[in-house]
Amino acid sequence: MMKNILKSQLTIIIFTIFLDALGFGIMIPIVPLLLADPASNFYLLPAGVSEKSGFVLLGLITAIFPLMQLFSTSILGQLSDKFGRKPILMYTLFGTSASYALFAFAISIKKFKGKF
């Protein structure tokens, strides 16, 4: 019985770490195509914007992710003290997964919009 409980807790912890690593894994190969490569099919910036501005935006977006993690940890810690660790972890994992799905959906819309 205790072994099953530890195994399920370990599975949740590994999934959480995987989801956090996925956040950086998504940003590294995809976001530069969106902001810094005008030859890409996924380029999002308007035609008049310089490539330098795209690199500045890329740097800002890359810096915002860990900065928001820094600020949100204290808020989530207080919420987990009030409501419990499991519900807060469940909601944040759901929110993170939903944001990654929305990110993928937006990129796919951009890709197909250029073909029609």
The proportion of the chain whose per-residue pLDDT surpasses 70, expressed as a percent, equals: 90
**Among residues of the chain, what percentage have pLDDT more than 90?**
16
pLDDT in tens, 3-35: 676 677 788 888 888 887 877 777 778 888 888
Q: What is the pLDDT of residue 78?
A: 94
pLDDT at 85 over 80: yes
Give a three-class secondary structure readout of the chain.
CHHHHHHHHHHHHHHHHHHHHHHHHHHHHHHHHHHCCCCCCCCCCCCCCCHHHHHHHHHHHHHHHHHHHHHHHHHHHHHHHHHCHHHHHHHHHHHHHHHHHHHHHHHHHHHHHHHC
Query: What's residue 49's pLDDT?
Result: 85
